[in-house]
Amino acid sequence: MRIVVLAGGIGGARFLLGVRAYAREVGAEVTAVVNVGDDLYLHGLKVCPDLDSVMYTLGGGADPERGWGRAGETWTVKSELAAYGAEPSWFGLGDRDLATHLVRTTMLSGGYPLSAVTEALATRWQPGVRLLPATDDRLETHVVVSDPGGGDQRAIHFQEWWVRHRAEIPTHRFVFVGAESAKPAPGVLDAVGAADVVLLAPSNPVVSIAPILAVPGLREAVADGSARVVGISPIIGGAAVRGMADRCLAVLGVECSAAGVGGLYGGRAAGGLLDGWLVAPEDEETVVPDVTVRAVPLRMTDEAATAAMVRAALELT
């Protein structure tokens, strides 16, 4: 069996732990197609937060409390940068984490595409699933905001909106800069085409899954392919389990609920993506037109609980 997972960072990474556990049990092959919309250059270095969250988590090197970055991290370089007054100061890069960005940036400068760099970094971490960026091309999520109290609209990088402003400034829309001319990374369309099932991880639908689907050809490959498509709700009982998905959904005018996100993805019969939609027991009344909805526990408390979610998703197909 071949499983493709569309994934963002922390939620995607935790979900992939369960997918990998399930796949080892049944002998399935897993490809993760990961969001690059959060990627940015900081202090001259290319940082890929979602790819790194997935790589460190699956490789056993993630900080379990923070959920992002490296376990046993130290912050010497960060305080040295602060001593120079170097901006941006709102994004913390740990010393261990910096090594990843140095290797990545060196390889990118040497002409290697991000997919090849990701494969090289994964040789160290052995994530046990194939990790692919959605695209090798520049695709950045920007957010159109205005200053509190009014003022002109301007676009800022997603990370500035999320990390610096905590999504707490007047927000108008999201723009996936570069999406129109981006191409799926090598292997992505083949993986989707050969998949028996495509799973939409319980990642942020607006800023993790949507930028993946914004790569021309990718949404079509999922929607029109032969693989069954099952999504897992990141919203339980009307709230995001963690993070600020509620703020993102509000910008789109979509209700923060399992039904709202299910409707945003839509049923395949209506030109959407989903055959099946997994919701939590408290959301069992959820209806998404033309989509098979099933309620099972959706809290990714440990690998076994998450693997049970994956099993339920596959049973739905």
Strands 2-7 vs 197-200: parallel, antiparallel or unpaired: parallel
Contact flag: residue 50 with Ca ion (CB under 5 A): yes
- Asked if residues 238 and 217 have their Cβ atoms less than 8 Å apart, the reply is no
Rounded distance, CA 106 to CA 109, Å? 5
Torsion region of 128: left, alpha or beta (phi above 0 gives left; psi -120 to 50 gives alpha): left
| Residue 233: CB minimum distance to ligand GDP, A | 6
**Footprint of ligand GDP on residues 246-265 (CB under 6 A)?**
none
Task: In angstroms, give the least distance from the CB of 94 to ligand GDP.
Answer: 16
Q: How many residues bind ligand GDP (CB under 6 A)?
A: 24
User: Per CB under 6 A, does 276 bind ligand GDP?
Assistant: no
234 binds ligand GDP (CB under 6 A): yes
CB of 83 to ligand GDP, least distance (A): 29
Selected range binding ligand GDP among 144-152, 187-195, 217-225, 298-306, rule: CB under 6 A: 298-306
CB of 106 to ligand GDP, least distance (A): 25
231, 204, 241, 236: which is closest to 312 by C-alpha?
231
| Least spacing, CB of residue 110 vs ligand GDP, in Å | 28
Q: Does the protein bind ligand GDP through residue 50 (CB under 6 A)?
A: yes
Q: Applying CB under 6 A, which of residues 240, 259, 291, 313 lies at the interface with ligand GDP?
A: 240
Point out which residues bind ligand GDP (CB under 6 A): 7-12, 50, 53, 202-204, 208, 232-234, 236, 240-243, 245, 298-300
